[in-house]
Structure 1
Amino acid sequence: MIRIKARAPTGRATVLPTVWGAAAVGYKFGCPLAQQNGLGARIVTSAVFFAVGTGLILHVRRTLLRELRLARRVARAAQNVVLRPLPPRLGGIDVAAAQLSADRGASVGGDLYEAVATEHGVRVVMGDVRGHGLAALGTVAALLGSFREAAHDEARLDRVLRRLDRALARHLRDRARTGHPAHAGAEPDPVSEEFVTVLLLEIGHDGEVRALNCGHPWPYLLSGTTVGPLSRLDPLPPLGPFPLPAEPAVRSCGRLLPGELLVLFTDGAEEARDARGRFFPLPEVLADAVRRQPVTPQTVLRTVFGALLDHTGGAPDDDAALLVLSSARGPGPEAAADPGARFTPRVKAEPLR
């Protein structure tokens, strides 16, 4: 657990208030001018006490700003540990990711993402915890810790999902016991209102994309100037309220070809509203991004977040996270010999009108 420990005032921190207070008391009881009732004496007395009050207020303000900077440094450190920065390339896949927090001044939120290179290919998770800010950080940490182990240990993607489901259930049970000590020994029901949307992707060494989706928005596929969802199939329910199927069906979504990009996002990016209540036009912004050259995960990320901040006036109502993936692999020898072998059936991306 990450805590910010309140520190007792040190000797140096109490010197200035003591000096100002002693000056005010000394003037009031030791200066003859303070005993007079004339207008000039009252003006001087008021000026003295105004200066003392101003000094104390400035000192308190400076102390609070110092504590705020410390809290923000701790929050950034927590983000770097829990939601660690991703390398620019993993297993032949170029990667770019970033997050915006809805909590003003916070650098952590309820969105989670991770990508790891394994012997099974590059495995990616994108999720959204109910709520945002520091309250959701514990759930994010529990899920990401489970994913980072399961992605390497489990050969099947559905087994990775089941590990995430069990990790979430354990975390919610432990949190419920901690939050309700009067019910120690009783089995609480922590999942009545808690849920997490999760999208799992596996990009094989041949570029094949396989997915498991539990209530999360499907990624957008950027192919040339075409933008469309990776799949239109109905996802499974979010993790938490409902049990997983006995054998969750892993969906094959074709291959990620060189030059194509996958844009994973949380609903805070797609459902952000402007001052007039209009939703953020994510597909249109992505279509604009692919018209710019060069098209890389970093340029797409900058374009989307710049447009999102403009759309919301710099104050989004919900956490928003984006993870952009692009194949950096060249065509294999089989694809070079047979161009038709590079293409497998996939959901057709529809051009924007």
Structure 2
Amino acid sequence: MIRIKAGLPCRARTRAHPRGRIGAVVARGIRRGRRKDPRRFRRALSTGLPAVWGATAVTYKMACPLAQQNGLGARIVTSAVFFAVGTGLLLHVRRALARELRQMRKVAGAAQNVLLRPLPPRIDGLNIAAAQLSAERGALVGGDLYEVIATEHGVRVVMGDVRGHGLGALGTVAAVLGSFREAVHDEPELGCVLRRLERALGRHLRERARAEHPSAGPNPDSPVAEEFVTVLLLEIGRDGAVRALNCGHPWPYLLSGARVEPLTRAEPLPPLGPFPLPAELRTTSGGRLLPGEALVLYTDGAEDARDGRGRFFPLPAALAEALREHPVVLPQAVLRSVFAALLRHTRGALADDIAILVLRNDRRTHVPSGARDSDPCGSVAGPRPAASDPQPTNRV
């Protein structure tokens, strides 16, 4: 049996359309255009609306008898018509620009998530919170970099600051972070990780010099000599032992109880870029990060931020105030308190990018680290004991 769907014949439906047969055809065309290619339909709509507004103004001026009169009332009506047309055009342009801005922000947000991936709240027993502010208006990422990754060698952390800020520093940030994310799993020693970062930075600067100065040949003698990166590398073992390598970066603050003090006062190495690393790299011991204690890593933009009178931002005092408000160190609460104090101090006018990373030890017991039997910059000999408190790592 053949069943026919009840309804009016096609011709009857067309005639019954409230806009008549032509209106039905136009409506079907619009629906088909939306289904086939919505972008083409939006593009046609965006170009058609200004034409309609312009045609309205021209038609009124040429065909309306009122527009040909010179009386006061006629002039007022003509001015009102052209004001409405101009307002419509301005609103249309504003909507188009707002749509493009939203699209650009989506692209920038996707780039930020790839470059500076959001850190999970916990990594291998450490509670983590991180945030940054860019000095360039409208930019989501700048010249600051950070990453926390759990490896078989311990939780390894990098905090860095590229010279300059804004979009010009993104290439250097990508080169350093990409090298760190690979090296922390391959290299058993922090010194070898730092050398990998130095080589990656050197390659990036040479490629950038060749792109900016193609006449210098394939091997320019001086890759962008003024570029440098300050880098702080931390390794937190299962027993809470902290080892560090610092190349021109501020030392982190240790939050212990109500005390705020630098992790160490050792002299850092020069920043990466202008000077080669020494032949022998010795890590600096930062003691043990006990359960409940926290480390606050930051870029120098935090302490260099000034108010209207030129006074520097008192970061230790802001951290102490955060501890008074929250006796139990909560990384997220510390971040909110410090950034609120920063914005009050500078009134929102930042001169440099700012990044802050807070790590609190939430481990309940100390597990002694296994003995390291490895060659420098080589592979670790023998298996390692599995972590007793596994947490998701910051790897995609």
TM-score, length-scaled by structure 1 = 0.88
Name the structure 2 match of 1:320: 354
User: Shift of the alpha carbon at 1:212?
Assistant: 0.5
Q: Name the CA distance, whole Å, in 2 between partners of 1:141 and 1:185.
A: 22
Q: Secondary structure at the match of 1:10?
A: helix
Q: Secondary structure at the match of 2:130?
A: strand
More displaced 10-residue stretch of structure 1: 315-324 or 151-160: 315-324
Q: Which one-letter code corresponds to 2:341 in the other structure?
A: A
1:101 to 134, 139, 145: 134
Q: Name the CA distance, whole Å, in 2 between partners of 1:315 and 1:187.
A: 39
Q: Secondary structure at the match of 2:356?
A: strand
Q: Secondary structure at the match of 1:98?
A: strand
Q: Name the CA distance, whole Å, in 2 between partners of 1:241 and 1:333.
A: 40
User: Shift of the alpha carbon at 1:265?
Assistant: 0.2
Name the structure 1 match of 2:150: 117
Q: 1:180 to 1:28 in 2, by over 3 A?
A: farther
Aligned runs of 1:108-257 on 2, under 5 Å? Answer: 108-187=141-220, 189-257=222-290
Name the structure 2 match of 1:298: 332
Contiguous gaps of at least 5 residues in structure 2: 1-38, 369-396
Q: Which one-letter code corresponds to 1:201 in the other structure?
A: L
Name the structure 2 match of 1:3: none
Q: Which one-letter code corresponds to 1:232 in the other structure?
A: R
Q: Name the CA distance, whole Å, in 1 between partners of 2:323 and 2:102.
A: 38
Name the structure 1 match of 2:373: none
Contact between 2:260 and 2:319, CA under 8 Å: does it hold in 1? yes
- Taking every aligned residue pair, what percent have the same amino acid on both sides? 72
User: Shift of the alpha carbon at 1:151?
Assistant: 0.4
Q: Which one-letter code corresponds to 1:42 in the other structure?
A: R
Contact between 1:169 and 1:191, CA under 8 Å: does it hold in 2? no
Name the structure 1 match of 2:302: 269
Q: Name the CA distance, whole Å, in 2 between partners of 1:186 and 1:211.
A: 34
Q: Name the CA distance, whole Å, in 1 between partners of 2:156 and 2:208.
A: 28
Aligned runs of 1:4-153 on 2, under 5 Å? Answer: 10-153=43-186
Q: Name the CA distance, whole Å, in 2 between partners of 1:287 and 1:318.
A: 23
Contact between 1:215 and 1:236, CA under 8 Å: does it hold in 2? yes
Q: Secondary structure at the match of 2:301?
A: helix
Q: Which one-letter code corresponds to 2:342 in the other structure?
A: L
Q: Secondary structure at the match of 1:63?
A: helix
Q: Name the CA distance, whole Å, in 2 between partners of 1:333 and 1:237.
A: 34
CA deviations on 1:315-347 (whole Å, 9 max, x unpaired) are: 32211111111112224388xxxxxxxxxxxxx
Q: Secondary structure at the match of 2:275?
A: coil
2:344 to 292, 310, 318: 310
Q: Which one-letter code corresponds to 1:294 in the other structure?
A: V
Aligned length: 328
Q: Name the CA distance, whole Å, in 2 between partners of 1:96 and 1:212.
A: 22
User: Shift of the alpha carbon at 1:38?
Assistant: 2.5
User: Shift of the alpha carbon at 1:180?
Assistant: 3.3
Q: 1:333 to 1:221 in 2, by over 3 A?
A: closer
Contact between 2:206 and 2:219, CA under 8 Å: does it hold in 1? no
TM-score, length-scaled by structure 2 = 0.79
Contact between 2:239 and 2:367, CA under 8 Å: does it hold in 1? no
CA deviations on 1:28-48 (whole Å, 9 max, x unpaired) are: 222222222232222222222
Q: Which one-letter code corresponds to 1:326 in the other structure?
A: R
Q: Secondary structure at the match of 2:112?
A: helix
Contact between 2:319 and 2:338, CA under 8 Å: does it hold in 1? yes
Q: Secondary structure at the match of 2:345?
A: helix
Q: Name the CA distance, whole Å, in 1 between partners of 2:117 and 2:70.
A: 66
User: Shift of the alpha carbon at 1:126?
Assistant: 0.1
Contact between 1:191 and 1:241, CA under 8 Å: does it hold in 2? no
Q: Which has the larger radius of gyration?
A: 2
Q: Name the CA distance, whole Å, in 1 between partners of 2:292 and 2:304.
A: 28
